[in-house]
Structure 1
Amino acid sequence: MTTIPSESMQPNSPIRQASGDRPECGAQTNAIGANPADGSLLLPLLTVDLATYRSNRDHFLRLASAYGAKVAPHAKTPMCPEIAIDLVGAGAWGATVADLFQAEVLLGAGVTNVLIANQIGGVASARRLRVLADAFPHAEIACCVDSEQAAANLVQAFAGRAGDPFKVFVEVGAGRTGARTKDVAAEIVETLSTTGAEIMLAGVSTYEGSVVGATSDVLDANMGALFDLVAETFAIIRQKHPERALVISAGGSIHFDRVIAALAPVCDADGNATLLLRSGAIFFADHGVYQRGFESIDARRLLMPEGFAFIASKAFKPAMRIWAEVISVPESGLAIVGMGMRDVSFDQDLPVALRLYRDGRMIEADLASSVMVSKLNDQHAFVTFGNDAELAIGDVMEFGISHPCTCFDRWRVFYGIDASGRIERSYRTFFH
């Protein structure tokens, strides 16, 4: 496990609050070397297949590099410093976070490039950001603003600060945060361009994942309008700062192909700009929303690295599993499994039953056609099954999930599985 350096902790810091006195709190002492299917561990538990995670990681980093892009994976998906450090070691530029708590956790763990891809808030929050930046003077930290007021708050909070200027992105957007028009973006650019040396305008940022459309054609049009706004805002910034190295940043998980196809050419044409993707959940994938997203990417066929279509559904595979035990078979065709809303994501789809184990042996390798999770309570999963399946009390079931972000945050500890199916190591999460 990564140890958060104690000298980086302030007395009331989120790192200290999250760490407590038991850095392994929640880990099972007999987990290493065990197989989740054999009944020797407390269930439910969450695992990540390490070979699959590394394959997803390497595929995405290579793809981004082929288009001249860099990657700052969003750390809020697993909120695990070890994963963030591993991704940086594999070639990521740094890490993305959603708030100051997450930023402090990663900075304290040794990640030196951190993008806060969100609005900070009022003057008080801007001052807290100043304190954080002062505590890590050798780190590169950046944040986003989508209004003149937010820009003015940062200018006020960082007034008189010595050292390298703090980097700020103008955020444009649709459906969530972000300036909605070129005129608003231009006003923010003007505010950030006329401030003192403490603040530096670094580029433009957006999040395309909140764009919606009733049909695919409408979605395409709305997505294109957002990317046009990004390019227009970038042009305004470039006019103000003709010699500065700039960055265009976007989310880029389910829509990474759209982002690359639309914005990599803007960076290439400029010659002094970098596309920075913030994809996070893609490294873990899933059996639901991301799987469908990859199929849509394959249908669009926007990316042709080395002249061949990039097949996302082949490149990225689900790495996460929930393991749980059948605790009751109260009636024919219904089993109650010891896993519920406290343990697994359900905001996009319910879990998917994959395999069945009895006495440590796999007795069913494909449950998809005969077993379905129909409902979740806090600690119970209602599993219905037909005549082709036989579930018994004590059976261990392996489930796939949908939406990694809202599954990881239910766990203080998750486990990495090796090629033999045994637990190789435990990973600590740092959620609020």
Structure 2
Amino acid sequence: MSGEAEVTAFGLQQTGRLTGLEKGLPGPGYDGPDLSSVARANWNLLRGDLPLPVCTLGQKALEHNSKRMLRFLQAFAPNIVLCPHGKTTMSPQLFQRQLADGCWGISLATFHQVRAARRRGFERIFYANELVGPQEIAFVLQELGRDPAFDFYCLVDSIDGVERLRRSAEEISPRRPLQVLVEGGFPGGRCGVRTVEAALDVARAAHASSPHLWLVGLEGYEGVLQTKPKDERQTAVPSFLDALVEMIQACDSEGLFNACDQIMLSAGGSSFYDLVADVPRHLELSKRLQVVVRSGCYLTHDSGLYARLFEDLKQRSDMARMSDLSFEPALEIWCHVLSTPELDRIVLGAGQRDFGHDAGPPVILKTAQEGVCSRLLDAGAY
């Protein structure tokens, strides 16, 4: 494949057997045995070599986005690291690219994701969730005992949750502690303690569970606030970050992080990472602070929701305006025009099974006819 429709194997190091039934692969006549054969096939999407709909990733856009994000965060302070959320792509090859570019680790959200990442050998995992089920807890603890290189972090937001982990760690005995962070939340939000007092109660329980558990920091997720009106989220996000700072300072003042060499603060989805990166300038603790930003959508970006949120970021961030921070949409879904039954109606051969729609329908960016691709000057709105 060539031009704007180019597809590569993204430096695949692993090979996987293909059945010929995978979505987007040619039908009869294609007998490529594994993923590595895709790079050698020289398919051209505009020539009609692939059945549509098919999803493609632009390699140049991926390279651009990955490096720009890391440079932007490192410009704030040297103790800010990027641990991108792997659920965005669930692609081990893209995980490898992010780590090679300088990411600190990979964030994940479900047990299945953790198991898949471990199967591919990823060593540092930030589990942005709480371990609850006995199978999930046992798997992580057994991996800690089996592999000394496995560096795992998870969240707690209740004394019961701390006790559940402590009992399992005492029973399975992985011979080293499970690293936990207290999760802070906000009213109407998702998980997490709502007050400083509740944070202290959970942190004290985790601290008392040493050597089975190690309390290493505090975590929060401000990304759900992006659903609020713009004027509301401009005050809600800084207020939430202030609450996290107050929680971590209270825990530090009681010496509850004495098991670790540094204190970790993790937040930063793909909407407000600039505000999270600014926290170290206003926070003094008894130990070195490490800020772990978990943005994942920067890698593929998009022309809808995150394009709008990025414009908001540039308006509020002097650093973003002065730097070379920019992102290019890397993800495209190509489909046929099935029908034009009316002058103002076009029916496309793709739907909800082909792309997510929780953030709105996709934006039409390009058209192609007889092998020639044209970019629309006005992509319009949702």
For the superposition of Structure 1 and Structure 2, which TM-score range results when normalised by the shorter chain? 0.7 to 0.9
Aligned twin of 1:59: 68
In structure 2, what residue type is equivalent to 1:169? L
Matches within 5 A, 1:11-90: 22=18, 26=22, 28=25, 32-67=41-76, 68=78, 69-90=80-101
In structure 1, how many angstroms separate the alpha carbons of the residues matched to 2:298 and 2:236? 23
Distance between the aligned counterparts of 1:28 and 1:116, measured in 2?
33
Deviations 1:181-208 (A, max 9, x none): 1111100100011113121111011101
Q: Distance in 2 between matches of 1:66 and 1:23?
A: 46
Which residues in structure 2 correspond to 1:342-357 (within 5 Å)?
Answer: 342-357=353-368
- TM-score by length of structure 2 reads 0.84
Cα drift, residue 256 of structure 1: 0.9
**1:248 lines up with 2:265 in the alignment:** yes
Kindly provide the CA deviation profile for residues 257-314 of structure 1, in whole angstroms up to 9, marking residues without a partner as x.
11112x222566655111000110111110111000011011112536xxx63464xx
Name the SS for the 2:87 alignment partner: coil
Hey, what's the Cα distance between the residues in 2 that align with 1:357 and 1:351?
Answer: 17
Given candidates 116, 130, 136, the residue that maps to 2:141 is: 130
The aligned residue for residue 182 of structure 2 is 170
1:193 equivalent in alignment to 2:207: yes
C-alpha distance in structure 2 between counterparts of 1:179 and 1:148, whole Å: 11
Q: How many residues align?
A: 350
Moved more, 345-354 or 166-175: 345-354
In structure 2, C-alpha distance between the alignment counterparts of 1:137 and 1:334, rounded to whole Å? 59
Q: Matched residues in 2 for 1:51 and 1:141: separation?
A: 32
Residues 1:24 and 1:164: Cα distance change in structure 2 (over 3 Å): farther
Shift of 1:71: 0.7
Aligned-pair CA distance for 1:213: 7.9
Aligned to 2:378: 368
Separation (CA, whole Å) in 1 of partners of 2:20 and 2:127: 27
SS of the residue 1:274 aligns to: strand
Could you tell me which residue of structure 2 aligns to residue 292 of structure 1?
308
Query: Aligned to 2:246, which of 232, 239, 247?
Result: 232
Contact 2:156-2:183 at 8 Å conserved across structures: yes
Provide the C-alpha distance between the structure 1 equivalents of 2:228 and 2:354, rounded to a whole number of angstroms: 32
Paired residue for 1:278, among 282, 294, 305? 294
Judging changes above 3 Å, is the alpha-carbon distance between structure 1 residues 302 and 227 closer, same or farther for their aligned structure 2 residues? farther
1:309: which partner in 2?
322
CA offset digits 1:319-378 (Å, max 9, x no partner)? 11111111223333333221111101221121111222112123x431636x888xxxxx
- Partner of 1:143, secondary structure, is strand
SS in 1 for 2:335: strand
Contact 1:204-1:249 at 8 Å conserved across structures = yes
Verify the 8 A CA contact 1:39 1:359 in the aligned structure 2.
no
Q: 1:1-25 deviations in whole A, cap 9, x for unaligned?
A: 3438xxxxxxxxxxxxxx8x75886
- Taking a change above 3 Å as real, the CA distance of residues 250 and 22 of structure 1, as seen in their structure-2 partners, is same
Return the alpha-carbon distance in structure 2 between the equivalents of residues 82 and 212 of structure 1.
29
- Partner SS state of residue 303, structure 1: helix
Question: CA contact under 8 A between 2:106 and 2:124: conserved in structure 1?
Answer: yes
1-structure distance, mates of 2:287, 2:212: 26
* Residue among 216, 231, 236 paired with 1:202: 216
Q: Which residue of 1 aligns with 2:169?
A: 158
Going from structure 1 to structure 2, the CA distance change for 1:349 and 1:198 (only over 3 Å counts) comes to same
CA contact (8 A) 2:159 2:205 kept: yes
State whether residues 280 and 289 of structure 2, in contact with CA within 8 Å, keep that contact through their aligned partners in structure 1.
no
Cα distance change, pair 35–268 in 1 and its aligned pair in 2 (3 A): farther
Q: Which runs of 5+ in 1 are unaligned?
A: 5-18, 374-432
Give the AA of the match of 1:49.
G
d(CA) in 1 for partners of 2:146 and 2:332?
38
1:212·1:222 contact (CA, 8 Å) conserved in 2? Answer: no
CA shift in 2, pair 1:191/1:36, >3 Å: same
Deviation at 1:251, TM superposition (A): 2.8
CA distance in 1, matches of 2:86, 2:20: 20
Q: Is the 8 A contact 1:258 1:302 kept in 2?
A: no
Task: Give the superposed CA RMSD.
Answer: 2.5
- Give the AA of the match of 2:51: L
Greater percentage in strand: 1
Bigger relative contact order (CA 8 A; separation at least 6) = 1
Q: Confirm whether residue 181 of structure 1 aligns to residue 195 of structure 2.
A: yes
Deviations 1:38-70 (A, max 9, x none): 212111111111111111100111112222210
Q: Are 2:141 and 2:174, in contact at CA under 8 Å, matched by a contact in 1?
A: no
For the residue of structure 2 that corresponds to 1:158, the secondary structure is helix
2 CA distance for matches of 1:346 and 1:162?
A: 42
